[in-house]
Structure 1
Amino acid sequence: MLALGVVTVLAACTSTAKSTDDAKVRTDLEPLERRFAELGPLSGAHWLGTALGTDSRVSVPGPTDVRMVGTAQLRAGAVAAITGAPQRSFQPEKPVQLPEELAEFVPKSARWVRSDSFDRDMTGGTYSGAFYLDPGTDTVYFDTINPGISASSEP
């Protein structure tokens, strides 16, 4: 009887299914603007916040890494201003690992560019992330792990 109780508790604590909230496309701007304040005001966002490592039976309680990935519209001309900065070397590069749930929200004709130095500026070296910009649509595609609150967005 005790063994059956232990098995029941373990089964309840370790789920192999993703949380349904993880697959829900979000459109709220505040979490993005607080983390990516350097991009300026955003609109038309479609993004996912997914807890990584939660689909394993061997997961251990503790800190959870969160992947924030999605697209957002920047104000008109913002991408040209960012990519035109002489200290950054933007090169054509397409995003990788695009979640299926976001495919319909990514501009089909986008000509993505990316810069390692811009990524470092955005993350401040405190989290991993890649930021792809499309000058034709003023769109950013971001793919980050544990993005912190931007210092410029705090009171």
Structure 2
Amino acid sequence: MITGVGPGRRRALVLGAAALLSACAPAPTRPSGKEDDGHAEVRTDPEPLERRFTELGPLSDPHWLGLVLGVAGSRAPGPTDVRVVGFARLAAGKAKSLVRAQDLGPFRPERPDQVPEELLPYLPKGARWVRSESFDRRMTQGTYTGAFYVDEGSGRVYFDTTDPSVADDPKT
């Protein structure tokens, strides 16, 4: 029992101690983009990608992940970074037109690194990836980080981005 303190102050001290103890409790689990078995869920919906990567045009056969980055269980306030990474098929002829566009080059041979394990089954066999830093800058518009690799043979693009923003709606 707390002595020498009135009932009002005693109640305030008890509530303060309870608040302090609850602040020390383990943080709730933060979403991580992982399923219960520790693997991320591969998504196949093209719409979120098409809203972010408008320059690529319509996409088909996507396989991608949205992974929350950071320390699990962190209680720090602030924005959360999301890695959007995966593959998609470009419209017929789009890969070739991108690679051959004078204002986007030069595209040079470069293989994607750090492809998440969950996406390896979707990696095109025999792909000859090329990448252009100029094209990366055009895609990201300096608002997020990202790398875009194109394989003309399969007509696919591999993207590895952090916090890709949704393109502005030209109707608004």
Q: TM-score range by the shorter chain?
A: 0.7 to 0.9
Instruction: Give the whole-Å Cα distance in 2 for the aligned partners of 1:3 and 1:86.
Output: 62
Structure 1 residue 68 corresponds to structure 2 residue 84: yes
Q: TM-score, normalised by structure 2?
A: 0.79
Structure 2: runs of 5 or more not aligned: 1-16
Residue identity opposite 1:11 in structure 2: P
Q: RMSD between aligned alpha carbons? A: 2.4
* Greater C-alpha radius of gyration: 2
Structure 1: runs of 5 or more not aligned: none
Residue identity opposite 1:69 in structure 2: V
* 1:10 match: secondary structure: coil
Residue number in structure 2 paired with 1:32:
49
Structure 1 residue 20 corresponds to structure 2 residue 37: no
Aligned-pair identity (%): 52
Structure 1 residue 10 corresponds to structure 2 residue 36: no
> In the comparison of the two structures, how many residue pairs are matched?
151
Considering Cα pairs closer than 8 Å and 6+ residues apart, tell me whether 1 or 2 has the greater RCO.
1
Q: 1:96 Cα shift?
A: 1.0
Runs of 4+ in 1 over 2 A off after TM superposition: 1-7, 15-22
1:96-142: CA deviations, max 9, x gaps? 11000000011021100000000000001111000000000110000
Instruction: Give the whole-Å Cα distance in 2 for the aligned partners of 1:126 and 1:4.
Output: 39
* 2:95 match: secondary structure: helix
Instruction: Give the whole-Å Cα distance in 2 for the aligned partners of 1:4 and 1:26.
Output: 41
